[in-house]
């Protein structure tokens, strides 16, 4: 992984996330070329897809980047070579929120996913928020029952990512922690990202990231290196 991977808890494309996204843009060499993928909302209807697309374009335009929404919303579009080419031409890919299991199943073994991982391998930035973050763990909890755990892309072996961590009560957090067993629960709060670059993970944003496993539970805040 030569590039930067950013996993956000919530708040994509909103003003409180601007400091995080500026940090990510500064990780790029040369002019930023951003593509926003509303894939996780692919089953939610045209109005929702267009809303996520517009939010992404408006947000990164405000930050001075060249940006385009690429509507990969199902398996057919995920294998559309013209859309994959747009992703390959970018150096920053942003996956917004929605349904994590749908997002994983839509992207798995597709031209779009190959293009996304290519951006990361070539030193670019790949960011995911909420569902877009969850797919990078080893597993995804099923909703609403939580069990069984579903597969994910396993960029963080042994970890299950729980976004919106500050929005859930202690009972649900404990239930998910029990569910993941020997794995590590990584709870990412809103307006916050867990950012991986140069072989290390750090917190960026106004909240925190909690790492919780058999060794214990620890919360890390902005600028701190996260270890688990």
Q: What is the pLDDT of residues 96-112, one digit of tens each?
A: 999 999 999 999 999 99
**Angle CA 56–58–61, to nearest 5:** 105
| Short-list 5, 28, 40, CA closest to 155 | 5
Determine the pLDDT at residue 1. 72
25 occurs within a structural domain? yes
**Domain residues for 198?**
4-221
Provide the number of structural domains found in the chain. Answer: 1
132 occurs within a structural domain? yes
227 occurs within a structural domain? no
203 occurs within a structural domain? yes
The residue to which tokens 């294998």 are assigned:
79
Low-confidence ranges of the chain (pLDDT < 50): none
228 occurs within a structural domain? no
- Token pair listed for 130: 């909420």
Determine the pLDDT at residue 194. 98
226 occurs within a structural domain? no
153 occurs within a structural domain? yes
40 occurs within a structural domain? yes
The residue to which tokens 């109005």 are assigned:
47
Q: Which long-range contacts (CB under 8 A, 24 or more apart) does 138-143 make?
A: 138/183, 139/180, 139/183, 140/100, 140/101, 140/104, 141/176, 141/179, 141/180, 142/101, 143/101
CATH of the domain at 97: 3.40.50.880
CA distance 137 to 155: 6
């Amino acid at each position: 992984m030569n590039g930067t991977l950013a996993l956000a808890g919530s708040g994509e494309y909103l003003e409180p996330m601007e400091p995080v996204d500026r940090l990510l843009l500064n990780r790029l060499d040369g002019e930023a070329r951003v593509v926003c993928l509303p894939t996780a909302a692919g089953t939610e209807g045209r109005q929702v897809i267009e809303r996520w697309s517009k939010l992404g374009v408006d947000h990164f335009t405000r930050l001075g980047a060249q940006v385009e929404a690429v509507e990969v919303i199902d398996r057919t579009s995920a294998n559309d070579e013209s859309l994959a080419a747009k992703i390959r031409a970018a150096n920053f890919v942003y996956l917004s929120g929605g349904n994590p299991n749908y997002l994983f199943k839509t992207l798995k073994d597709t031209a779009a996913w190959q293009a996304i991982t290519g951006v990361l391998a070539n030193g670019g930035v790949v960011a995911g928020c909420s569902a877009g973050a969850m797919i990078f763990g080893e597993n995804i909890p099923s909703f609403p029952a939580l069990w069984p755990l579903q597969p994910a892309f396993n960029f963080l072996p042994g970890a299950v990512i729980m976004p919106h961590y500050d929005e859930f009560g202690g009972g649900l957090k404990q239930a998910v922690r029990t569910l993941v067993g020997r794995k590590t629960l990584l709870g990412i709060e809103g307006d916050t990202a867990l950012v991986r670059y140069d072989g290390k993970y750090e917190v960026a944003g106004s909240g925190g990231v909690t790492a919780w496993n058999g060794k214990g539970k620890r919360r890390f805040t902005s600028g701190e290196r996260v270890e688990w």
